[in-house]
Amino acid sequence: MSELKENVQIIVDREVACTLRDGTKLYANIYRPSNEGEYPVLLTRLPYDKNLPNFSHRYIDPIRMAMSGYVVIIQDVRGRFASEGEFDPFVQELKDGYDTVEWAAALPYANGNLGMFGLSYYAFTQLYALMEQPPSLKAIFPAMTGHIFGDAFIQNGVHMLASTETWVLDSVAADYLKRKQSSEQYTNTIKEITNDLDHINDWHSFKPVKEWPPIKKHPELVEFFNKYLQQEFTERSRDQISFKGNPSELGVPAYHLAGWYDNFLDATIHNFETMKGSTNNQKLIIGPWGHGMFSSELGERNFGINSAGTSIEGKEDITGLHIKWFDYWLKAGSEQLPADEDPVKIFVMGENKWRSEKNWPLERTAYTPYYLHEAGTLSETEPSKEAPDSYVHDPNNPVPTHGGGVLFYNGRGAGPYDQREIEKRDDVLTYTTKALDAPVEVTGWIKMKLWAAYDAKDTDFVVKLIDVFPDGTAYNLTDGVIRAKYRDGNIEENHSTAEIVELDIDMWATSNVFLAGHSIRIEISSSSYPRFDVNPGTGKTTIDSTEMVESNQQIYHDQDHPSHVLLPIIPR
């Protein structure tokens, strides 16, 4: 970690204007050393108010970074708070990102070398700026963000309902409406938004989603909300990216930060894999964290003091990681990672230890199928002649979300929770191994191969991987969902009720040691609500319909339909 410059005074310049190519002005706060000279720049661009410490500082200390010899710039993006223009999320960050990078690198106290940092949307702003190839952008540190070319809140055809509704109402609505309403009207608007956020868990159940009352009562916000539901913003942003190659070809060093219980876990890891390519300037760190949450405690578990972002291995914190990374690339001018550092650092749950790795996925992985069996058992033995299991999916009584990589209001409900109450339901199946004689480590991507039948026009399947403790406590590790009609990448509208379909379910990734005496469990249902929009069974969605029909689900596990989870076992 870089030594702090105790004698350095920091100047804070507020509301500094950057004029874009179209004349729009964006405003930033700038933290810089008072000492004369030129310094590398660290830039972040966010839509959540640069003057609000919870967002402008978040998990990073800009004063410490400035004291370490950087000009730190925190900017409101177009159409947000102090900045001019109309907010057109994601799409606008391409050209605006390029212009801001080059403006910042040319400031009188800047030396022309610039890095970007930030979490969630302000990690998106890094990736979109990167794809426009501004010459001054030398390194980035994207944390917990979506895939460069992916949809923000859709997973295998299923809307991440609560995340979508929460983001628009909590993160966008207030400032968006303030720009369009009179002061008197806006006073009432804020009261309504506040009240709706206080009752957002109740509002999540309203259908159809496109008529959602917390949005419909503000006509100026309706078009924005509908565009977001239809993923129009991310689709247009992908179409407008000028660079059409693999991001690894750009050669920009990137340190990717992820959490095992983050709603963008898969995307952040995929960004690392995509950008790594043939280069050796990418790093990845994954902690036992939720979205923007870096405490040692998450959900109902405590992973130990040194799991926290403030004490990684008891050696450094997240701000220190940033300073070390940017010192290397912006001050040393090297083109390779330090020879003594592995590119991957993961926190292994169960053992609750950090570990460095040379690659992801781990080369020594032994991919091992664990098969579903009758009587709710799970084992490495292939099934023979067994009858299917069945349950009824009632979309009017969906399985409630209980933990996981969720993005709910104020971070509620993220992380590991005891699943036993959920598993008492008649529409939840479980398959569990015998108690383990020795520890089993699972680290990597988790895939489920499932054969199933259903008699509705469409349905969903949700699968969880669970660590069952000797006392029966069952903590969720990771999960996946699929909308059946999207099973082959194309929409399958004509479903036969007699058809047994083969489903490949991406359950994202984890790292966990199932200790001796513990068991490995797979849980199967057809909903996780309100994390995902419930499948009504009609072939339509609750986005624009309210009709619901029950579906009889059958889960097959026999020699012709050997349903199994493919676990990445790490030899020990």
Residues designated as active site = 120, 262, 291
Given a contact cutoff of 8 angstroms between Cβ atoms, the answer to whether 152 and 231 are in contact is yes
Q: Are 506 and 156 in contact (CB under 8 A)?
A: yes
In terms of phi and psi (left: phi > 0; alpha: psi -120 to 50; beta: otherwise), the region of 312 is: beta
Q: Which of 62, 74, 82 lies closest to 100 in space, CA to CA? A: 74
- Assign 514 to helix, strand or coil: strand
Burial class, 155, CB count within 10 angstroms (exposed 0-12 / middle 13-18 / buried 19+): buried
Torsion angle in degrees (nearest 10) through CA of 486, 508, 264, 250: -90
Give the tokens for residue 491.
Answer: 């929409």
The pair of structure tokens assigned to 564 is 């199994």
Distance CA 192, CA 268 (A): 35
Q: Pick the closest to residue 269 from 283, 279, 250 (CA basis).
A: 283
Strand partners, 349: 512
CA distances (Å), 8 to each of 69, 107, 321, in order? 9, 20, 21
- CA-nearest of 112, 142, 96 to 38 is 112
Q: How far apart are CA 349 and CA 508, in angstroms?
A: 16
Number of Cβ within 10 Å of residue 571's Cβ equals 8
Confirm if 417 and 299 have CB atoms less than 8 A apart.
yes
Output helix, strand, coil percentages for the chain, rounded to the nearest 5: 25, 35, 40
Whether the link from the prior residue into 562 is cis, omega within 30° of 0, is no
Strands (E), 226-278: 254-261
Cβ neighbourhood burial of 304 (10 Å; 0-12, 13-18, 19+)? middle
Task: Give the C-alpha separation, 257 to 316, whole Å.
Answer: 15
d(CA 26, CA 91): 16
